[in-house]
Amino acid sequence: MVGKRVLVVDDDVKTVELVELYLNRDGYRVLTAYDGAEALRLAREAHPDLIVLDIMLPGLDGLQVCRTLRNESDVPIIMLTARTTEQDRLIGLELGADDYVTKPFSPRELAARVRAVLRRLPEESLHRGPKEVVAGELKLNLETHEASLAKKPLNLTPMEFRLLAIMAREPGVVFSRAQLINRAFGYDFDGFDRTVDVHILNLRRKLETEPGRPRYIKTVYGTGYKFTGGKE
Amino acid sequence: MVGKRVLVVDDDVKTVELVELYLNRDGYRVLTAYDGAEALRLAREAHPDLIVLDIMLPGLDGLQVCRTLRNESDVPIIMLTARTTEQDRLIGLELGADDYVTKPFSPRELAARVRAVLRRLPEESLHRGPKEVVAGELKLNLETHEASLAKKPLNLTPMEFRLLAIMAREPGVVFSRAQLINRAFGYDFDGFDRTVDVHILNLRRKLETEPGRPRYIKTVYGTGYKFTGGKE
DNA sequence: CCTGGCCTTAACAATTTCTGAACATTTGCG
DNA sequence: CGCAAATGTTCAGAAATTGTTAAGGCCAGG
């Protein structure tokens, strides 16, 4: 998968740059902000996968930012603070921070915490919602990652599996290419629309008996694609 | 359904309160104890649905409590351990803990683990009783750590055994490297994804007749690994 | 203090998948 | 019909993922 995005918030430029360096080295994409307002704006706009948040910030401080964000999303937050009193630590955790690192910190350690926090996420989301998508003769088992059409197993690539799952979850609904890209790749992906077409083509080859006259994945001219149960 | 009851045992009041706060927020009813004897008394009296148990306790320590409780009931237990040594990890799980979280932990994470354990309870409870995992021709004895495939004994290392047990417990289910690391290495393990690959490689060498075309441990490209009974 | 097993990690090879461009074909519409 | 826009198709190189080897560290047992 493409690198996850981490928003780093600290009023000290040197600190931000140091953290950025280390996170980049680990393959993350880094967004930066230097005050609380900017942090909130970026968090809302870019939906990062994790936020590293200093407590001491000009204007809105880190705790306020943390509290605000918690009301809006479940994005994991790692707090940074110079102070080390037990109370500060508890306050941060009570506000919903996922982890806590005290300054001065080693960037290596912070990077390790980032990895650790991000690693335990997938387990959560995976077990939410239905474990199987069924639409007509199509079956997609999200747990075993197996796909079948009329009992016959399909051998799908990760991208094909994702795209098909997105569409099959809501049969009949038309998805634009942009929507498909967003859902399959994550928001903010800057890729080429037409790549979707190629995946659709490959999907049709695998599940249509007559790819030229598709029964499952229909094209809606000028709009996008939709999945139908196969019964028109 | 009324909130399930969780017994939280730790000698540190602050920790207990923090955990209580989070579990309450999730709709659980929380009982608390600050030493091993109290924990046992409450567990027997109130029959909680789950127990969060610190290892380090005054008097009776957590391991003793865990062992005692396991002789009396199947109540799920999540262990809290200080910085892990390899030994602590294995000991806790061998004693029958359902999960464990290493300190310092984030209460969000602990709450997540509580949810996870309680959610998979119905299915898991079937697998209790004999401490053995059987999947097709594979047999894993969790007590003696002995493994055999088609009657022939396998000589597995501890890590190989744990990885195989995790996957074989739920045949067909795909586990990401992150999930495997979490469950086998520990939630705070700061390591490299690809370590899993090497263990998988070594496992295949031991149990596949043709490691190049594995029948038991399959790779799911872009996702992770899964165990199959060897049929298909 | 050495030895051997085990775990971790780095490095490199092999494989699979994805992307983006080019070109072909179809569709909608006047 | 004829045109422009949208979609279908092909394909090679790029990128991502996994397989494999090997070296070094750690620790228990001798």
pLDDT of residue A131: 84
When comparing pLDDT for B88 and A162, which is higher?
Answer: A162
pLDDT of residue A24: 85
**Protein-to-nucleotide distance from the CA of B219 to the C1' of D18, whole angstroms:** 8
When comparing pLDDT for A173 and A4, which is higher?
Answer: A173
Report if CB B105 to strand C is under 7 Å. Answer: no
Q: What is the pTM of this model?
A: 0.84
Q: Which protein residue has its CA closest to C1' of C25?
A: A212
pLDDT of residue A44: 92
Average of per-residue pLDDT across A122-136 = 75
* Of A86, A99, A158, Cβ closest to residue B223: A158
Average of per-residue pLDDT across B179-207 = 89
Q: How confident is the model at residue B90 (pLDDT cuts 50, 70, 90)?
A: low
- Give the residue on A whose Cα is nearest the Cα of B181: A119
Average of per-residue pLDDT across A133-139 = 91
In angstroms, the first-to-last Cα distance of chain B is 41
The answer to whether the Cβ–Cβ distance between B18 and A90 falls below 8 Å is yes
pLDDT of residue A11: 94
The answer to whether the Cβ–Cβ distance between A98 and B119 falls below 8 Å is no
Q: Give me chain B's average pLDDT, please.
A: 84
Average of per-residue pLDDT across B180-197 = 85
What is the percent of chain B with per-residue pLDDT over 70, rounded to a whole number?
86
For residue B129, pLDDT beyond 90: no
**Protein-to-nucleotide distance from the CA of A159 to the C1' of D15, whole angstroms:** 14
Distances (CA, A) of A133 to A184, B69, B221: 16, 40, 20
pLDDT of residue B62: 81
CB contacts of B121 in chain A (<8 Å) are none
| Positions 126-165 in A, CB within 7 angstroms of strand C | 157-160
pLDDT of residue B126: 47
Report if CB B204 to strand D is under 7 Å. Answer: yes
| A28-87 pLDDT, tens digit each | 889 999 999 999 999 998 889 999 999 889 889 888 999 999 989 889 999 888 766 666
Average of per-residue pLDDT across B25-40 = 92
pLDDT of residue A127: 62
DSSP string covering chain A: -PPPEEEEE-S-HHHHHHHHHHHHHTT-EEEEESSHHHHHHHHHHH--SEEEEES--SSS-HHHHHHHHHTT----EEEEES---HHHHHHHHHTT-SEEEESS--HHHHHHHHHHHHHTHHHHHHTSS-SEEEETTEEEETTTTEEEETTEEE---HHHHHHHHHHHHSTT-EE-HHHHHHHHH-TT----THHHHHHHHHHHHHH-SSTTS-SSEEEETTTEEEE--S--
For residue B93, pLDDT beyond 60: no
**Chain A interface, best mutation among B16, B17, B102, B108, by max A CB count within 10 A:** B108
